[in-house]
Chain A
Amino acid sequence: MRLWALLRRATAADAAVFVAALALLAALLRPTLSERELQARVQSAIADVDLVTASARASRGSRGRWPTSAPPGEVPPELGVLATPDGPFSRPEYELAWTTWEVVDSVVAPPEAAPPPTPGDAPRTPATPRMAPVTRELGAVAVHAGDEVLLAELLAHYGRGSSFVLDTMWMVVLPERSESQAAGP
């Protein structure tokens, strides 16, 4: 009742002061509110990337290979459990993508079989081991978003050793073994 009495006696000048004070308060609180909103998006993206990574590793462990690649926003067939309306592939702020990449490693190959020596030839030197290229597949989780700050936050979180930002995409290449597995006995 007292507040109502004050409002009834308010003038246009009082309203102007009130609006100006609200504007100042909003201007001062806007950075904090924006930061909180950004952190919420970052945490959501990190959680989604970790979820997809764990699911892909589980699929690789059970099937012996990584899930097949899928366009951004689409769930690979091997990760069907994540195809939910509120799943990681259905975020309005960004789109997740699962991709696979091939890398070539050089491995030591057995020496080639030499032709049998003919009589009178000098004795041959023993064959040296040689390097042979082999391919292997890697999995990667990509986040497509127009928010550069979000991509930068993801790069800072996962490190520059295994992730990079290209245009509007951030990608992390999953190692063969997880860190927990690498640190294990």
Chain B
Amino acid sequence: MARKKKPPSRKRGKRTGKKGRGKSRKKQTRQKGAAADASAEAPAEAPAEAPSVGSAEADAGAGTATLEAPSAAAVVDSEDDVTVVDLDTDEHAAIVDLDADDDIVVLDLDADIDDGGATDEVELLIAETLAIAPEEDGDADPDEPAIDLDADLEEAPGERPVTETEAAATEAEPAPADSARQEIDLGPVSSPEVRDRLLAAALAHAEHKDARYRVPFAGPTSTARGKLLAASVVLLAAGVAAVAPPGWARPDPPAQLGAADRAHSLRVALVLQAQQVEAFRVRAQRLPAALDEVGAVLPGVRYVRSGNRAYQLIVYEADGNAIVYDSASPIDAPGALGAGWAAPEVAP
């Protein structure tokens, strides 16, 4: 995990001294004040296991370290000793111009410096900080202020402050623990015999369903045949009802022209036509040669003139019988014509 605190152009390094820990060999590297790009290139790994940044070369056998990378921190390791460089300490600061090729600082790692226990305190502080501090994104804003390590220490280790968004989401969502706590009743464990019986029943049901579809279509079923038979009967009844409707379905029969009505109508028609001939004779003092001279002529009436004073009017009934009106035996003109006239007697 890298910490950025100083601009990358200039590096200040301080050799805080040598710390001997028996035969164990440790390498601890701390890079401070590195540039943002350099921080991105250097993956965040465990600080205790992170070797010196790739830009630094160490010659453990010679006990010296050479820093070639322009942005690398002054971290130097020796074969037997662990050296921690505190860049913030001005007391032992040494300015290294990393941009220049000839700015090579040769550190004497074998030199024993007595710092009065400050090195141990710094190591302890770094170890606690690395263990407690939250992870930071590699794309962090370079302008972000440095983390107050003292403030981090006040929080409980392993806990992270809950933001307002997370608190709202926690309130909105149901607690998954509640659903997880619901117990599911899986029922009694079935025995192999029961399972076999259920499987056999299911297979028999499926076979029955398949058998229904395997039966070929053989025409209408009995129900359909019954319906068709009923339809035929009803249709036959409809035909009978259309030809000869039953009495209860037949209204009162309309008026019909009977034979008497027809004969009476013919006689009245003959009298009315004779009146036209008589009227013509009164006006013209003669008989008309044909009915066309009269003017008003009823259909179906024939006129036969017999001499200068007599004539006959003839109509035929539907059955061919002739009805004759003879002027030689005059019939009183229906004087009641103005008040409803009755049928006169007409010689057949």
Contact = CB atoms under 8 A, between A and B. Distances in A.
Q: How large is the interface on B (under 10, 10 to 19, 20 to 34, 35 or more residues)?
A: 35 or more
A159 B340 CA distance: 10
Contacts of A152: 254-257, 261
B167 interface: no
A151 interface: yes
B275 A160 contact: no
B245 A27 contact: yes
Interface of B: 220, 223-225, 227-228, 230-235, 237-242, 245-246, 249-252, 254-257, 261-262, 264-266, 268-269, 272, 275-276, 278-279, 282-283, 296, 298-300, 333-335, 337-343
A162 B343 CA distance: 9
Given A16-B228, A16-B231, 12 more contacts: A13-B224, A17-B231, A20-B233, A27-B245, A28-B241, A101-B272, A102-B296, A103-B334, A105-B335, A161-B341, A166-B299, A176-B338
Interface stretch (A75-83, A108-116, A167-175): A167-175
A17 B261 contact: no
> Which residue among B241, B254, B266 has the maximum number of chain A CB atoms within 10 Å of its CB?
B254
Interface of A: 11-14, 16-17, 19-21, 23-24, 26-32, 35, 38, 69, 99-106, 133-136, 138, 148-149, 151-153, 155-156, 159-162, 164-167, 169, 173, 175-177, 182
Given A24-B241, A104-B279, A105-B333, A138 B254 contact: no
A133 B255 CA distance: 39
26 contacts: A12-B224, A13-B223, A13-B224, A13-B227, A13-B228, A19-B231, A23-B234, A23-B239, A26-B238, A31-B250, A35-B254, A38-B254, A69-B296, A101-B276, A101-B296, A102-B276, A103-B337, A104-B278, A152-B254, A152-B257, A155-B261, A160-B268, A164-B266, A166-B265, A167-B299, A175-B337
